Amino acid sequence: MRANSLRTMDFEPRTNKGVIMLFKKHIFPFAILAVFFFVSSCTAQSDIKALNSKKAGLTVSVYSNNLSLVRDVRGINIPVGMGEMTFDDIPESIIPETVNVTSLTGPEGFDVFRQQYDYDLIAPDKLLDDYVGKKIKIMSFNEYHDRKEIVEAELLSNRGSKVYRIGDEIFLGYPGHIVLPEVPDNFTTKPQLLWAYDNNNTGDQKIEVTYLTRGMSWKADYILFLDDKDLFASIDCWSTINNNSGVSYKDSKVRIIAGDVRQEAPRAMKTARYAMDMAAAPAFNEAAGEKPFFEYHIYDVPGNITLANNKSVQAKLFSSKNISVKKEFEARSTYSYYTRSYNKEGTPVPVNVTMNFRNDKKNNLGIPFPGGVIRVYKKDAQNNAGFIGEDRITNTSEEEELKIELGTAFDIKVEKKQTDYKQLSKNLYESAWEVTLRNNKDNDVVVNVIETLQGNWTVIDESMSYEKIDAYRIKFAIKVSAGKESKVSYRVKVGI
């Protein structure tokens, strides 16, 4: 099997033990854990640490669904022959079965044929679980005699409160520091990969490691500023990248993948692994901007940035000015009106304000919009910015229309009143309606009154023409002069 294939293995690395530090941790209000532990060191000439190699390139491709692809290239001189090598600086949330190792210098001369993933990290309770039934020491401080005292004890239980056998007595808890002789071999201070390799390449070579990991995602946020006449706008698209993977990625080239990548659970993701092979090939370049990738879109973040663990970073994806926009008013009703009698004088219908624009090059855009939240602002007469609403959009490709709902109009009122109702049969209804619109603004407006019908419907009379939007909706575009009132009436037959 060559170096670009994937395997997992079970083997124990060769280790020698040496004491290097004291590890302390509170166990309960009166006891603190102190641990002497040992760290393994490779002594064979063919055993080397990949961590000490020189990093030659780091690229992180971040997906929106808690997934990222990491491509880590390192320069290293590996002895010829078979040996073992450790690779750390990996996240706790790595998906180990997606690890792919190859030599860029000589792909046919380097092969990783076994892999072990060590992720049993040191933790106080896990360490003590390993010492149940074994001898430990408890070190306490005698304040009256100003000295330390050490007691030898057998740990009987680590469930909740500790239980010890000291001499011929049983103690439920005991004040002091718990001292362990060593860290068991099955624990590690941080996750790492251990590889068994066969190398026939001489001299320095570049080793490429790619893997998928959880714990990283990104989202898009937009800032849109309207002009004073609500006719043109400027827009900035920002990406927010969150890294909770357990490790930092310093000076990395960051690529953002827009689109929904299918993942299988609980096994490794077939689609995502295919994306790993494709993205790890020749497409890593320094050109900023957007480009298509399979059925998704890639945004290259300019320059190199550091994705620190447990932190978020914002990077601008694109911006544009002089975008032509159109403000519209919509009053929407529901289908439940048409199969029952209403005796109310008039039912208020909210008037929604929307801002629409087309995503094409003629409108100074023509770039895929990742799904996210668009927040809209406008400056007042004193040049102070004001927030006027936000809406979430889905992934929007070029040549598509974007419609942003901002809120409800304050000075435009719409009331809907039933003027007649008949139940013609068990499932057939006829009703007449009058919609009254009042415009308290100082300029004329056009309000789109959208009626949602149901079943087999027929408009049998109307005071003005309407547009059929789809199978169950019609629209009356009604002009209302400043300070005036307008009305529209219609009669509809609905069969359910």
Q: Report d(CA 262, CA 264) in Å as an integer.
A: 7
Query: If you average pLDDT over every residue of the chain, what do you get?
Result: 81
Torsion sign across C-alpha atoms 129, 133, 135, 140? positive
Task: Encode the chain (496 residues) as per-residue pLDDT tens digits.
Answer: 333 332 333 333 333 333 333 333 333 333 333 333 332 333 333 455 554 567 778 999 999 888 999 999 999 999 999 999 888 888 888 999 999 999 999 999 999 999 988 765 566 777 787 778 889 888 887 777 777 888 888 888 888 788 888 888 888 888 888 888 887 766 666 788 889 999 999 999 999 999 999 999 999 999 999 999 999 999 999 999 999 998 999 999 999 988 777 777 654 433 333 333 333 333 322 323 565 555 668 889 988 999 999 999 999 999 999 999 999 999 998 766 788 888 777 889 999 999 999 999 999 999 999 999 999 999 998 999 999 999 999 999 999 999 999 999 999 999 999 999 999 999 999 999 999 999 999 999 999 999 999 889 999 999 999 999 999 999 999 999 999 999 999 999 999 8
Asked if 437 and 485 count as a contact pair (C-beta separation under 8 A), the reply is: yes
pLDDT digits (tens, 9 = 90+) for 236-276: 999 999 999 989 999 999 999 887 777 776 544 333 333 33
pLDDT digits (tens, 9 = 90+) for 351-406: 999 999 999 999 999 999 999 999 999 999 899 999 999 999 999 999 999 999 99
Angle at 356 between CA 352 and CA 360, to 5 degrees: 165
The b-or-e profile of 211-241 (16+ CB within 10 A means b, else e) is: bbbbbbbbbbbbebbbeeeeebbbbebbbeb
The b-or-e profile of 422-442 (16+ CB within 10 A means b, else e) is: eeeeeeebbbbbbbbbebeee
User: What is the reported pTM?
Assistant: 0.71
DSSP 7: -
Q: State the CATH class of domain 327-355+406-495.
A: mainly beta
* Residue appearing with tokens 């990222």: 68
Angle at 108 between CA 104 and CA 109, to 5 degrees: 85
Conformational region of residue 295, where left means phi above 0, alpha means psi within -120 to 50, and beta covers everything else? alpha
User: What are the boundaries of each domain within the chain?
Assistant: 327-355+406-495
Q: Are strands 485-495 and 68-77 parallel, antiparallel or unpaired?
A: unpaired
Closest among 261, 220, 263 to 242, alpha carbons compared: 220
DSSP string, 303-335: S-EEE-TTEEEEEEEEEEEEEE-EEEEEEE--G
